[in-house]
Amino acid sequence: MSLPHAILTALLEKPSSGLELTRRFDKSIGYFWSATHQQIYRELGKLEAEGLIRALPAEQPARGQKKAYEVLPPGRAELARWTGAAQDPKPVRDALLLRLRAAAVVGTAGLEADLRRHLELHERQLAEYREIERRDFPPGKNGPQDRLRHLVLRAGIDLETFWTQWLGHALSEFAHLPDAGEAEPSGEPRA
Amino acid sequence: MSLPHAILTALLEKPSSGLELTRRFDKSIGYFWSATHQQIYRELGKLEAEGLIRALPAEQPARGQKKAYEVLPPGRAELARWTGAAQDPKPVRDALLLRLRAAAVVGTAGLEADLRRHLELHERQLAEYREIERRDFPPGKNGPQDRLRHLVLRAGIDLETFWTQWLGHALSEFAHLPDAGEAEPSGEPRA
DNA sequence: CCACCTTGTGCAACTAGTTGCATAAGGCGT
DNA sequence: ACGCCTTATGCAACTAGTTGCACAAGGTGG
């Protein structure tokens, strides 16, 4: 139940149309809460119906027209409530770790290449985060909101750092593993 | 599309009934791919229908009877295929980070308590992982499957370590933040 | 001047996961 | 022998997210 709140946050930072929101979700906010444009449009409709946001009175609201939204007081209140309410972390689901575990049973064939690919993706993401940090959080900037936002970015950086390190470690393990195959002494002879 | 593969892995490790699987998902496998018993039963039905697993011929398959499943060769093949196939990491969705970002706009009221609670949860999980490591991976054990499984556990340990550290850092930031409120110089005076 | 591309909005159908409840068998106490 | 608890299996309805497509407006090039 977080997408509406992600949208409220984005709209409070800057009133936007659906497509503008979509673009921003592909950058800053989407780094830790991704969403497709269809999700966003649907949610904008709901939020408007609930009276939490409203369309800024632009020209004519015809099709193919930009329609910008802003947050209404009840929307801000709801966001504040949600932010402060207790929430349980949702259970982990990580396919890569699952695949590694499966590999222990059915063999590692093909996995190494994908680990390498993931490593590259995470390295790229890490580089991007560092660039954002350099650009948006120079040493002087440390008002309360800056500190909070920097904290979030730090989480992103540290997470990507973890993944790159772990993947590096995993690949080095693969390097001296009894190649591919069942990886199981008791496995049946293949074919 | 990973739940069926999680189940195949679990069944290869040890043929089990639905409930036994559920219990194991609450422990080892579920640490990185959680599932409820309803998901598991449904998926067992599908896997059986597809001919990837079969029910072990037990007594009478009446209701309230244990029904254990084992993986058939096509099931093993499918798992091997999936494990080696390239897969994109799925986009991140972390509500806690989102809430922090929201807090930069609508204020931090209530958040600190929940951060503290999350810190405790992660510390507990970390302790559990370390205990498993101590118990299941003593210095001698390092055959190929041991190495792979240890690698997975290491990821869990390092992830929990990251979270505990980051949450600690976040809480220390909160400690010298201009208390609660809007955390925004330009915010409207509350109420 | 019209075919085609881009921008922006949106519906419909599908997949995956969650929640709440139903049902059956067997043991246990009184 | 009856109610009740635990174990085990499962259906149905719901929520959240994904995928594929449709459609309108406005610009662009042959």
pLDDT at site B142: 82
Q: For B93-119, how does the pLDDT look when each residue is reduced to its tens digit (9 = 90+)?
A: 999 999 999 999 999 999 999 999 999
Cα separation, A45 vs A10, in Å, equals: 16
A64 touches strand C (CB under 7 A): yes
Residues of A in contact with B99 (CB under 8 A): 5, 82-83, 87
Nearest CA in chain B to A169: B151
- Tell me if B165 and A184 make a contact (CB, 8 A cut-off): no
CA of A59, C1' of D29: distance in angstroms: 30
Domain residue spans in chain A? Answer: 2-57+66-81, 95-175
Using CB atoms, pick whichever of A92, A145, A178 lies closest to residue B31.
A92
A24 touches strand C (CB under 7 A): no
Residues of A in contact with B2 (CB under 8 A): 93, 95, 98
Measuring from the CA of residue A22 to each C1', which nucleotide is nearest? C8
Give Cβ neighbours of residue A53 (< 8 Å, ≥ 6 apart): A7, A8, A11, A44, A47, A69, A70, A71, A72, A75
A2 touches strand C (CB under 7 A): no
CA of B43, C1' of C17: distance in angstroms: 12
Can you tell me the mean pLDDT for A70-89?
95
Query: Could you tell me which CATH class the domain B2-57+66-81 is placed in?
Result: mainly alpha
* Shortest CA gap A6–chain B (Å): 7
Cα separation, A60 vs A176, in Å, equals: 66
Q: Is the pLDDT of residue A8 over 70?
A: yes
* Shortest CA gap A77–chain B (Å): 8
Using CB atoms, pick whichever of A30, A118, A159 lies closest to residue B162.
A159
pLDDT at site B78: 95
* CB-based contact B137:B152 (threshold 8 Å): no
Cα separation, B179 vs B142, in Å, equals: 51
Q: Is the pLDDT of residue B35 over 70?
A: yes
- Tell me if A152 and B100 make a contact (CB, 8 A cut-off): yes
CA of B13, C1' of D9: distance in angstroms: 22
Q: Is the pLDDT of residue A190 over 50?
A: no
- In sequence order, what DSSP letters do the residues of chain B get, joined into one string? --HHHHHHHHHHHS-EEHHHHHHHHHTTGGGTB---HHHHHHHHHHHHHTTSEEE---S---TT---EEEE-HHHHHHHHHHHHS--PPPPPB-HHHHHHHHHHHH--TTHHHHHHHHHHHHHHHHHHHHHHHHHH--TT--SHHHHHHHHHHHHHHHHHHHHHHHHHHHHHHHHTSS-SS---TTPPPP-
CA of B53, C1' of C26: distance in angstroms: 28
Q: Please tell me whether residue A54 adopts helix, strand or coil conformation.
A: strand
Using CB atoms, pick whichever of B100, B148, B166 lies closest to residue A183.
B148
Which CA distances in Å does B125 have to A134, B31, B71, B164? Answer: 33, 10, 31, 10
Q: Is the pLDDT of residue B147 over 70?
A: yes
Q: Do the bridges between strand B53-55 and strand B16-17 make them parallel or antiparallel, or are there none, so unpaired?
A: unpaired
Q: For A117-154, how does the pLDDT look when each residue is reduced to its tens digit (9 = 90+)?
A: 999 999 999 999 999 999 999 988 788 889 999 999 99
pLDDT at site B62: 40
Can you tell me the mean pLDDT for B77-93?
94
The distance from CA B119 to its chain's CA centroid, rounded to whole angstroms, is 17
Q: Which of residues 87-146 of A touch strand C (CB under 7 A)?
A: 90-91, 93
Residues of B in contact with A187 (CB under 8 A): none
Q: What is the reported pTM?
A: 0.87
Eight-state DSSP code of residue A69: E
- Tell me if A99 and B106 make a contact (CB, 8 A cut-off): no
- Tell me if A109 and B79 make a contact (CB, 8 A cut-off): no
